[in-house]
Amino acid sequence: MALSADLSMIWALMRRGLNELLRVPGATIPGVLAPTIFLLGLTSVFGKLTDLSGFGTDSYMSFLIPVSLLQGAAFTGAATGVNLARDIEQGWFDRLLVSPAPRSVLLAGMMLSASLRALLPMTVLLGVGLALGVKFPGAGGLALSIFFVAGFAGVAAGWGSTLAIHFKTQTAAPLMQAGIFMAVLFTTSYAPQELLTGWLQEVARYNPVTQIIEAVRQGFVGGEITWAGTWPGVAALAGLLALLWLLSLREIRRATY
């Protein structure tokens, strides 16, 4: 009975998040536009990096598209944090807190809502990419991309929610966006690990998002999807989700308004 009520609450919060797509369509533009600009722009600028020995592919856009997919998920997740900060400022979140719903259910609703919404920028980016010659990753690669994009949007929503509940203001938005933006870019985003230089080579090696990008990249570059190439990404995603879940749950439990 309790489980059924929890699931209904999660679904209601997810529907509320989806309603925003229909009622405030302009709010989805940054999540779609920014990664698309980066995909097209960075491909134009750094496309010749594929001439470097050991790059592994001659299509820079195919190499870059997993980064853009995760950027789309990151911006969508961060937007969930900004929306939560708005709800806190306007007092709507207080009403949720006095409802009998467990805190964990409120968080789950927001994070899953972000996971679902992230499929919109993903669809647009894949459409643009495939139209411009990105290699189709196959059914397996596509399923893997959906899994990681949805999961990473949950991570970003967890990050955004933690900050939103902590600072209780929309002015924390740049911190939400810049933090997750750095997490995605300080990886093997521009070039394979062995071609990175200086400090970025070390940061990318230990940044768990690198494993997620490499897992998604399997379908677009190389073609063969293997468990050996996938499990580090799954482990990194699970670890990040668990960490952000605990942090945001800690914040929401400490929250007093």
Q: Cα(117)–Cα(112) distance, rounded to whole angstroms?
A: 9
> Cβ 174 to another protein, closest distance in Å?
7
Shortest Å, Cβ 76 to another protein: 16
Out of 57, 130, 186, 234, which residue is the one contacting another protein (CB under 8 A)?
Answer: 186
Residue 198 has a CB neighbour count (10 Å cut-off) of 7
Both tokens of residue 38?
């980066």
Q: How far is the CB of 227 from another protein (least distance, A)?
A: 28
Q: Which residues make Cβ contacts (< 8 Å) with residue 72, sequence separation at least 6?
A: 31, 32, 35, 118, 121, 122, 124, 125, 149
The structure tokens listed for 194 are: 């062995």
Q: Which of 169, 171, 224, 253 binds another protein (CB under 8 A)?
A: 171
CA distance 16 to 116: 12
Pick between residue 30 and residue 222 the one whose CB is nearest to another protein: 30
Q: Say which residues have a Cβ less than 8 Å from residue 223's Cβ, sequence separation at least 6.
A: 135, 138
Q: Which is nearer to another protein, 197 or 226 (CB)?
A: 197
Q: How far is the CB of 43 from another protein (least distance, A)?
A: 7
Query: Which range, of 145-153, 179-187, 227-235, 241-249, touches another protein by CB under 8 A?
Result: 179-187
> What's the distance, Cα to Cα, between the start and end of the chain in Å?
30
Residue in 2, 22, 48, 95 binding another protein, rule: CB under 8 A: 48
Considering the rule CB under 8 A, would residue 40 count as an interface residue with another protein?
A: yes
Task: Tell which phi-psi region holds residue 197, choosing left (phi > 0), alpha (psi between -120 and 50) or beta.
Answer: beta
Please count the other Cβ atoms lying within 10 Å of the Cβ belonging to residue 237. Answer: 22
Nearer to another protein (CB atom), residue 8 or residue 171: 171
Among 7, 12, 15, 44, binds another protein (CB under 8 A): 44
Binding to another protein, residues 83-142 (CB under 8 A): none
Instruction: Establish if 71 lies at the interface with another protein (CB under 8 A).
Output: no
Q: What is the binding site for another protein (CB under 8 A)?
A: 30, 33-34, 37-38, 40-49, 51-52, 60, 171, 174, 178, 181-182, 185-186, 189-191, 195-201, 203
